[in-house]
Amino acid sequence: MSKSSIERCVSHALNTLTVDPARKTMAIVMLLMLQATAFFGAGNIVAKDITGRVTSAADNEPLIGATVQVEGAQGGTITDFDGNYTIKANDGQTLVFTYIGYVTKKVKVKGNKIDVTLEEDGKSLEEVVVIGYGTMKKKLVTGATTQLKGDDIQKLNTTNPLAAMQGQTPGVNIVSTSGQPGASMSVTIRGLGTVGNSQPLYLIDGIGGDITTLNPADIERIDVLKDAASAAIYGAQAANGVVLVTTKSGKEGSSKITYDGYVGWQTVGRKFKMLNAQEYMTIMDEARLNSGLSPVDWASLNAIHDANGNVYDTDWIDQAIEDGALTTSHSLAFTGGSKTSTYVISGGYTGQDGVIGGSEVSNYRRFNFRANSEHKMYDGLITIGERVSFVWKTQRGMGTGNIWNNNLRGAFSSSPIHPVFDENGDYASTVNSDWNVNDGNPYGNMMVNRFNQNKGGTLDANVYMQIEPIKNLKIKTVYGISYGTSEYRSFTPIYQFTPQSANTLTKVNQSNGHGLSMVWTNTAQYDFTLKGGHDFSALIGSEWSRYNGSSTGGYNDGLIAGFGDWDHAYLNNTNGTDNKNVNGAPYDETRGMSLFARLGWSWKERYMLNATIRADESSKFAPGHRWGYFPSVSAGWTISEEEFMKSTKGWLDFLKLRASWGQVGNANINCYQYLAPVTTSNTNYNFGTQAGQSGWSTGSYPSRLANENVKWETSEQFNVGIDARFIQSRLSLTADWYIKTTKDWLVQAPVLATAGTQGPVINGGDVKNTGIELGLTWNDNIGKDFSYSVGGNFAYNHNEVGSIPTEDGIIHGATNQIYSNAEEFYRAENGHAIGYFWGFKTAGIFQNQQEITDWIAAGNGVLQSNVQPGDVKYIDINRDGQINATDKVDLGNGLPQYTFGFNLTMSCKGFDLSANFTGAAGFQIAQSYRDPNSSQGNYSRQILDRWTGEGTSNKIPRVTYGDVGNWQFSDLYLQDGDYIRLQNLTLGYDFKKLISWKGISKLRLYVQAQNLLTLTKYDGMDPEIGSYNGTNGNSSDSWVSGVDMGYYPHPRTFLVGMNVAF
């Protein structure tokens, strides 16, 4: 662009700013871009000036800043404020016209003047999203859905595809259950809606499967159905939302080979600091003095000194951490096809070692194979295809998550003055120690219990045939199977670290199982248009499903001589001791049948209406109660197509209002809950005929009362949302508001203890989740080489239980969990969030005796029997002069009220840079790394801020030898868990323009950092805490979150990788 052209633009801009102030910002930005691109174009030496004007086909308005360049040449120019341009080119060359939000156009040079009209690019709105048993144009969707592209998932290089979805999908809270290799992830869509199974339905190419084992390189896209209108077509399976995964298909054209791989190194992102030896001994002495005891004579203790007389100073956390743990992944794919047949064949390997203990303690290995093909016959009359995948994985892990089988918790609580190894190089024991014989050796315990492996394979396959007898009538049948087999084996050698932590005989545990699920789906869909622009889409279908399987297992003690190691640890090599068990049983067989229908209507893509109905039958319920019915209706209005919106065309490209209502069900329950099972366990009774066990008679009794009226859990949902695009589709917006009420929970009814059995399973209880979701994305380019995208999403959710059908309106949490002999500290109760923390509120620390006297005189109670300055001041909620269970209140919960994500991508001349942030706020974490009943256990460095005298602390009480009442569960255990994390940072460069190797279409190298930075006030190893799964009787309380008992942290990872395409 010449200097005179720029001067004309400046002059015109000044006039424009006085006439239309709304364009001020755009004008300034365009002028800056104009000035910059003048330099790019300066280097071109071509024959003649070509001039012209670029306008929009929609309204004939000029396109300001459209890029014009000669194909294959460097540099170019942009249009001015009237859409005019000037560029030098030769006859026969091709000019390329591009503008964000419009379709690129190429024109051959003939003459000196070329005017071009660009069409708006509705491609993104014409793209399809996957809905139940079909697809739909994005602009016609009336429900709340979110879509992620497979390429975006793959670039994040996670072993689990769910991890790549974190922070990308508003309203979908995804947290890992552990940072251990191969660990699962907990997914909650629009709030926790049940005290039962709360995980969504996962369908891979229409068939249920395990998304965690998918190779991310095989994924084409993932669609999340969040509201009932989108998910109701799946009926009784969809109360917790639906995640639809579509794997890649072959494409017409020449064959293509792609390779994607990386290798990386991992470390702990955040280390938790414990007291060192000197600090620990100081605290121990102070605790004894505060309890009226004399200090410890440390010099006289032999067990804590090495051969040179120095006190051991062991950092058990450091000992357990494995810096540089490896992770790697490699994928190879072959794709191709013709007009009638397409195929894709791929294979992959993923391996990850643990950052705690290294690969010996925890590791994950996975092999993936997939083959998808499709074939059209008789000019498209018949289409057949198949999708087959096989996964083989092995996994080794360590105990985490609770206070009983948790090596990390042991590392937190063990004193630092015992050694890791003894003088013989063996793992040291404290059995004969003269300081705390129960201390043990957490590192040694982790290592001797590392001999375990879980391995198994899964074959998923579906074949389908579609017939299209007349245009737009598609009749399809799909038959799918999923067969899984697994094997577990563990070996425990002889060891003794404490009087209690001991194993006097080698132990072997073996088990295996297999299961087969089958699904047969038949659908017929007809799309047709009536006069006047009325488009209809009708679908009817049926589905039949079945699952069965079996398992066997056993354990025994005492491997025979010469076979006492991992390689020979099989049941056949044991001595056949009395402590043995072998069992085998079938899995509960389930069968289901479903009928469903959907009808959609739209008029000129302006007004949309959709309705679905599904009827499900399940063998899990009693005859007469096996059918459930799940309807939904949704509507959409594309307001931007109305005549009265024409004045907004300059800045508003698309605006749609959506509303939906529907009901979905939850059948994720155990079988035969309506029956009264008969048990023979613990039924021996002596009728007095003989003394001792020989006189016992075995009987039986119903372990639970029957209830044939048990039915489905039901979730009723209402949703209102908008979708909008602005400024030539640069800015896109999605917003939703919803109410989700889940009712008829499956809970156990209370009965009197004199009933002699458990109460029946009944329907009762409900919870309401209310929330909003917001997603914003800005896409743009600067000049012809630099493009960028900025996106963010935000979600708010409020969870509140409405009613629980028990006498006290409470589902009680487990006891003996957060520390030994602890009372329950979480529960579900009317008017509160599911799994809220229940305990005492505190008002600080008593600073002096006068403060204690005044507190009691005011009618407040104290918990401590001999309260002293430095003790916790518990709030007497009911002011009855006592501190007891009636003073316990809601202290918060582990369910984030706010979740959010932010991402940035940029590319320029082959370089690409991306950053992804995730975060959560509005939740608490209950942290317990130490048992207050263990006087000699170690403390975190937080204890250095304890109360040591008046005014020294109003948060952490004085230390004592034994718990004097200061460590009852209270808000002292809780911390805000708010965090924001730089989840992924990637820098790459594609070398394809720098090489001349024939056939290579892509050669990208990149470096990547994962979990690079976490901003949080939480002082634990990781604020991203998943569900707790505390043991409560014979079940697990998976409905409580935010409990850190020694959580396996997420690793910080650094990768080097390559993407190649031939």
Taken in order of first residue, the domains within the chain and their CATH numbers are 3-121 (2.60.40.1120), 124-256 (2.170.130.10), 675-708 (no CATH), 844-884+943-965 (no CATH)
pLDDT of residue 913: 96
Task: Look at residue 35 and tell me whether its pLDDT is greater than 70.
Answer: no
User: Distance (Å, rounded) from C-alpha 208 to C-alpha 517?
Assistant: 9
Residue 620 phi, psi (nearest 5): -70, -15
Between CA 470 and CA 528 the distance in angstroms is: 11
Q: What is the pLDDT of residues 473-531, one digit of tens each?
A: 999 999 999 999 999 999 999 999 999 888 889 999 999 999 999 999 999 999 999 99
Q: What CA–CA distance (Å, rounded) separates 707 from 714?
A: 18
* Rounded CA Rg of the chain: 33
The mean per-residue pLDDT over the stretch 60-73 comes to 82
679-704 residue pLDDT tens: 877 777 777 666 555 667 778 888 88
Residue 3 is predicted with a pLDDT of: 40
**Distance, CA of 738 to CA of 427 (rounded, Å):** 57
- For the chain, counts of helices (H) and of strands (E): 11, 58
Q: What is the pTM of this model?
A: 0.86
Question: Is the pLDDT assigned to residue 724 strictly greater than 70?
Answer: yes
Residue 1032's pLDDT band (cuts 50, 70, 90)? low
Check residue 170 and give its pLDDT.
94
Which residue type is seen at 658? R
What was the pLDDT predicted at 19?
A: 39
Cβ contacts of 7-16, under 8 Å, gap ≥ 24: 8/80, 9/34, 9/80, 9/81, 12/80, 12/81, 12/82, 13/81, 16/81
pLDDT tens track for 254-269: 789 999 999 999 999 8
- The rounded distance, in Å, linking the Cα atoms of 236 and 259 is 40
Helix (H, G, I), strand (E, B) or coil at 241: coil
Percent of the chain whose pLDDT exceeds 90 = 66
Of residues 751 and 545, the one with the higher pLDDT is 545
Residue 94, exposed/middle/buried by CB under 10 A (0-12, 13-18, 19+)? middle
In this predicted structure, which of 27-41, 458-472, 508-522 has the lowest mean pLDDT?
Answer: 27-41
Mapping DSSP onto H, E and C, the string for 991-1048 reads: HHHCCCCCCCCEEEEEEEEEEEEEEECCCCCCCCCCECCEEECCEEECCCECEECCCC
For residue range 5-22, list pLDDT tens digits in order. Answer: 444 444 444 344 333 443
pLDDT at 784: 75
Q: For the chain, how many residues are written?
A: 1062
For the cut 70, the answer to whether the pLDDT of residue 1035 exceeds it is no
pLDDT for the residue numbered 21: 42
Query: Cα–Cα distance between 1031 and 927 in angstroms, integer?
Result: 17
pLDDT tens-digit series, residues 411-423: 998 999 999 999 9
φ, ψ for residue 647, nearest 5 deg: -70, -15
pLDDT band at 39 (very low <50, low <70, confident <90, very high): very low
Q: Is residue 167 within 8 Å of residue 715, measured between CB atoms?
A: no
Q: What pLDDT, on a 0 to 100 scale, did the predictor assign at position 746?
A: 82
Distances from the Cα of 391 to the Cα of 394, 459, 525, 845, 1000, angstroms:
10, 7, 33, 57, 30
Q: What is the dihedral of CA 1024, 1025, 1026, 1031, to 10 degrees?
A: 170
Mean pLDDT for the stretch of residues 819-825: 89
Tokens of 377: 């016959």
Query: What tens digit of pLDDT does each residue of 143-201 get?
Result: 999 999 999 999 999 999 999 999 999 999 999 888 899 988 889 999 999 888 889 99
Give yes or no for residue 440 having a pLDDT over 50. yes
Looking at residue 1031, what is its pLDDT? Answer: 60
Average pLDDT score, the chain: 89
Cα–Cα nearest to 599, from 521, 527, 530: 527
pLDDT digits (tens, 9 = 90+) for 804-821: 888 888 999 988 888 888
Question: What distance in Å separates the CA atoms of residue 763 and residue 746, rounded to the nearest whole number?
Answer: 5
Residue percentage of the chain with pLDDT more than 70: 93
What DSSP string describes 602-660?
Answer: EETTTEEEEEEEEEEEETTS-TTS-EEEEEEEEEEEEGGGSGGGGGGTTTEEEEEEEEE
d(CA 599, CA 610): 6
Q: How much is the average pLDDT of 211-216?
A: 93
